[in-house]
Chain A
Amino acid sequence: AQRVTQPEKLLSVFKGAPVELKCNYSYSGSPELFWYVQYSRQRLQLLLRHISRESIKGFTADLNKGETSFHLKKPFAQEEDSAMYYCALSGRFGNNRLAFGKGNQVVVIP
């Protein structure tokens, strides 16, 4: 079975401090991992995916297959980073449906 675990529900950081959101997964196969973000009063949107290896808005995430992790990091948090972040997995389900973690609420303190 596929499962995505985000252990911390709420994360408060000061502006300029580093941010790390943890994501661990279980999946029997080769999954594709994503981070989705939902800003206040906005819809869920893709932040980044492991395949593209991009840095979006200063965020990066590296897939570690040995530790089955896909942690999200940003060296210097900005106030506009305050949002809900979801780690998600897509595997060979046949339709690419997403399995989400419970999410992390990030609050950046000015």
Chain B
Amino acid sequence: GAGVSQSPRYKVAKRGQDVALRCDPISGHVSLFWYQQALGQGPEFLTYFQNEAQLDKSGLPSDRFFAERPEGSVSTLKIQPSEPRDSAVYFCASSYEIPLAGGTDTQYFGPGTRLTVL
């Protein structure tokens, strides 16, 4: 079946513009994660959804970042307004099971959106 998809794949924005990044997880996947990867770094956690509930947003760097998953499937990460320091690749990942204390279900990653803010 189809994997996790993200759109757009590339986005160039001017400082101050609002940006919206979309993630389509694998159908039926309960958990959805957003990660940010700056140049030369590993991905860093931003936020987590279990179905439509945003249960952890501790990784969001500022209140300019906002994420939603209103119907428990598609998710949108918004940056309002964007700044040059937000330039990075943004990954979405989804997994099937609700996480349990005893183990971790495999996260499947999307191709990422490369955001450049000028």
Contacts and interface: CB of A to CB of B under 8 A. Distances in A.
Contact of A100 (B44, B48, B50, B103): B44
Given A43-B109, A46-B107, A94 B42 contact: no
Nearest to A92: B101
A53 interface: no
B105 A98 contact: no
B107 A43 contact: no
B111 interface: yes
Given A43-B109, A43-B110, A95-B55, A86 B103 contact: no
Interface of A: 4, 6, 32, 43-46, 49, 51, 86, 88, 90, 92-103
Given A6-B42, A96-B99, A97-B33, 4 more contacts: A43-B3, A44-B43, A49-B104, A102-B40
